[in-house]
Structure formats: C-alpha cells, structure tokens
Amino acid sequence: MRHPDLNPFNVFVTEDREISCIIDWQHSSILPLLLTAGNPPLFENPDSESPKGLKKASLPEDYESLGPEEKPHADELHRRRILFWLYMVFNGKDNDPHLATLRYPLLALRQHAVDRAGRQWSGNIITLKGALLRLVDHWDQLVDGDSGQSIQCPVQFDTKDAEEFYQVEENWFKATILLEYWRSVLGDPGQDGWVSNESYEGVMEVNRQLKKEWVAEAEDEEDLVCVDRFWPFQDHEELD
C-alpha cells in the first residue's frame, strides 16, 4: 500500500517527535512493490543523477563566499539533499525490500509504461508512445529468459518512425518545460485558466507581455498565426 500524498500537512507528530497520525488516504493504491516503489515528492532526489553511495550531503565548499541571492538557493538544495539522504538511510534500516526495489535498474521503465497504459487519452499520446518505444528498445532485458525460450516483442516500430518520434518527443518535452515556466510566471493558474478577481488584471498584463515576447521571436507569417491560434493562455468569456 502506498500513500498518494505524503507531505508534512498529512503527517501529525507529537511533542515527543513520534508520528501519531497520517491522514488523507483516499486515492491510495495497493499494487505490487515494483509499481509502488519510489520516493514521495518530499524526499525525491533534487539532482538529475542518483548518488553512487549514501554519503551525507554537505554545503558547497564556497558557501561562505556566496552572495545573498545565492545562499538561499544553496540552503534549499542542501535541505532537499538531506531529506533524500535520510529517506534512503532509513529505508536501508527499516525497509530493505523497498530499498532493493528502488535499485532495480528497469524500475522507472516498467512504472512509466504501466502508468501511461492506465491513463485516459484524448489526442496527445506522446508519452504513451515513448513508453512503448522504450519497452521495445529494452525488450531483451525485460523478458524472463529462464525458460530458455525466445519471446518476441508484440509491438514493433520501424527505425525511421522511432527516430522521427524521438525528435518530436524532445520538442514536446521542451514545450512542456516552457509551458510550466509560463504558468509559474503567471502565478500558477488552474488547468482551466482560473485566476482570482483580485489578481486578474495583473495576470492578464503578464500574459500579454509573454505573448508579445513570443510574437517577437516569430520568423514568418506562419509562426505568427501559430502563436495567435495556439497560445495556451487565451482569454475567453465565461457563459452561463
């Protein structure tokens, strides 16, 4: 069983620093360990690569020389690294099966495929196709070869299709990162674009400036049409 949202707001601690209660168990899942293993968001690795050992994180050597704008970033990164380190250490002490599963080299590949296959799709299947392509690429490692029989992958992609897709996928990831950045600049509006009445005018002005900057990057008339037609934060009137 895995808690879906293990964050400080859902964990109650006594004055003696003992966990007394964990709330918000709705949407929890009961699945094989291979599919539920993973660090909760609070304890995720803040670095792109996993550390080779369990050496305790430390502040950078030049920490004292950092400026007032750089130190908070270094402090936050250090805090997140320490949380990740503590989570892994206590897993090794109290939950060795989970730690062993986290070290399985194809864990992310399997989890990604199952997650994407279980979602509802409405047009955009880029991440699903990416999961399938990676299954095909690693098929020999995924199948159980103990039987001595060769199991052929039921899904096939030709080389040209795969190469073209990986380029599309890379562009899609870049666009997604850019979209998330725009959302943060706009104050993280909801998926439906909702903002409060108090912040509406300010958000609209920022949105206009973002679009203006993007229009300035257009190279031809076709680019201008695409920006105008597909800008993700179009204003619209709500009708009853």
**pLDDT tens column, 157-174:** 999 999 999 999 999 888
Q: 84: burial class by Cβ within 10 Å (0-12, 13-18, 19+)? A: buried
3 state SS of 104: coil
- Give domain limits for the chain: 31-102, 186-240
**pLDDT tens column, 55-93:** 898 999 999 999 988 999 999 999 999 999 999 999 989
Number of H helices, E strands in the chain: 9, 2
pTM greater than 0.85: no
Residue 238 pLDDT greater than 70, yes or no: no
